Amino acid sequence: MKSIIKILILLIITINTAFCQVEMLQKQKNDFLNDLVSSFENEYLWKEKGKEIAKKLESKIKNGDYSNINDADIFVETLNRDLYQLSNDLHLTVDLYNPKPSNSKKTSSKEKPVIYKEVLNNGIYYLKFDSFPRLNESFKKEIDDHMSSLVNSNTIIIDLRDNSGGSDETVNYIIGYFFEGKKKLATSYQWNTSPIEIWTTPKVQSKELSNTKLIILTSQSTFSAAEIFTQRLQKHNRAIVIGEKTPGGAHRTSTYLMNDIFLLNWPYEQSKHAKDEQNIEAVGIIPDYLAHYNKAKKVAIKFAKKGRAKKIKKISFHKESCLVKDLEKVLNSMSDSDYQNFISTHVMQSHQDKVSKTLSKYKTVWNENHNGRIINIHNLPENNVRLFIETNYGIRQMKIILNDENKISKIFTR
């Protein structure tokens, strides 16, 4: 992109973004908006759609939709809302660049392994991938060791319910264990280049593992490369999918630094499945058997033992928690007293200011018409909760971190 500083940021931007203090000048904001319009006009993967988005975005700029926004966080959230509406591309996002090093301690791979394995009975093995990290020799060996231990299994359950994506190379490497011969998975289409066919590379263990029953668990949080992994196996009739429908974020992106303040996650590749040429962007994965996040593993184990599961048409959940009910009420309330009562009742006193700012900015941008509703709830380990909130602008995720007394310490939105 001519308008973008050609620096690829080699970092993973967390999808649960905490608001950071960044000073934004009007000129930086205006220059960035103009660069963004130009990028859509000239370098978007889908030329006609890019020109249409550029025209609508330019109209918003001329209409003054962003001119009075001085808060950098509010500007980014507002622009992301609009980009989602215009493109329906879940990877196309803007973030703030914060060069200050984080003081938080990173969890080492020894403390939290990339792959969690559990041995169940009846020859059933359970593997949990919460991400697909970049492929290197160390990780290849880790994968190989796990797969070698599974060659005599009857069923492998692969849990991607909390997997937000990662490396496409890692995805294809792992899939290679489950086909004895070479198999065409998809065709990759990148901007201004010729299509590239994607094939599996069989492994030593492929002869045994190609006959093993595979079950993949999905949820509304299964995203990006995790969706690609699931699609490539499901459509080749190589895996049964149990869980929730996924959001449909399939495009690969690169992250670019724009005028020292904004990070642009820009899609540069789409892939179409070899079997039906389908691109699952904005489509997602439809499971073979629907099951709520908190029931999917249990359903999968039963399926592995009996070879069948009960078909349901709709996933049900309950808003049992007083906190959840009060949160939905306050997100749709115009009353300052309702808002303050929620903060004082449900938030740790030492964290009230930070949580209040997060909720306030969320309401300002994503729920300004006060008509959001909670459509799903995931009860996570360590007493945490993940909510899915539907508004006129799409579905947002909200992760709530609770202490031992069920008081909120942090809220993250995506």
Three-state SS string across 199-239, please? ECCCCCCHHHHCCCEEEEEECCCCCCHHHHHHHHHHCCCCC
Instruction: Say what the pLDDT of residue 178 is.
Output: 97
Closest CA to 89 of 250, 328, 278, 293: 250
Alpha-carbon gap, residue 107 to 113, rounded angstroms: 10
Report which secondary-structure segment, H or E, holds 256.
strand 252-258
Whether pLDDT at 3 is above 80 = no
Q: Residue 317 — φ and ψ, nearest 5°?
A: -150, 165
pLDDT at 108 over 60: no
Phi/psi for 216 (5° steps) reads -115, 130
Classify 289 as helix, strand or coil. Answer: strand
- Residue 236 pLDDT: 96
pLDDT-based confidence at residue 8 (cuts at 50, 70, 90) = very low
8 A C-beta contact, residue 75 and residue 60:
no
Model confidence at 94, pLDDT cuts 50, 70, 90, reads very high
Mean predicted lDDT score pLDDT of the chain: 88
Evaluate whether 342 touches 330 at the Cβ level (below 8 Å).
yes
Structure tokens at 27: 């000129």
- Characterise 192 by phi-psi region: left (phi > 0), alpha (psi -120 to 50), beta (else): left
pLDDT of residue 21: 47
Which range, of 7-11, 201-205, 251-255, 317-321, averages the lowest pLDDT? 7-11
Whether the predicted pLDDT of 123 surpasses 90 = yes
Q: What band does 327 get if pLDDT is binned at 50, 70 and 90?
A: very high
Q: Tell me which amino acid residue 199 is.
A: W
For a pLDDT cut of 90, what percent of the chain falls above it? 68
Rounded to whole angstroms, how far apart are CA atoms 210 and 401?
40
Q: Check pLDDT > 90 for residue 100.
A: no
Distance between CA atoms of residues 90 and 80, nearest Å: 9
* Higher pLDDT pick, 71 / 159: 159
Dihedral of the alpha carbons of 360, 366, 372, 373, in degrees to the nearest 10? -90
Query: For residue 373, which phi and psi values (nearest 5 degrees)?
Result: -140, 145
Quote the Cα angle for 361-266-243, to 5°: 70
pLDDT for the residue numbered 20:
45
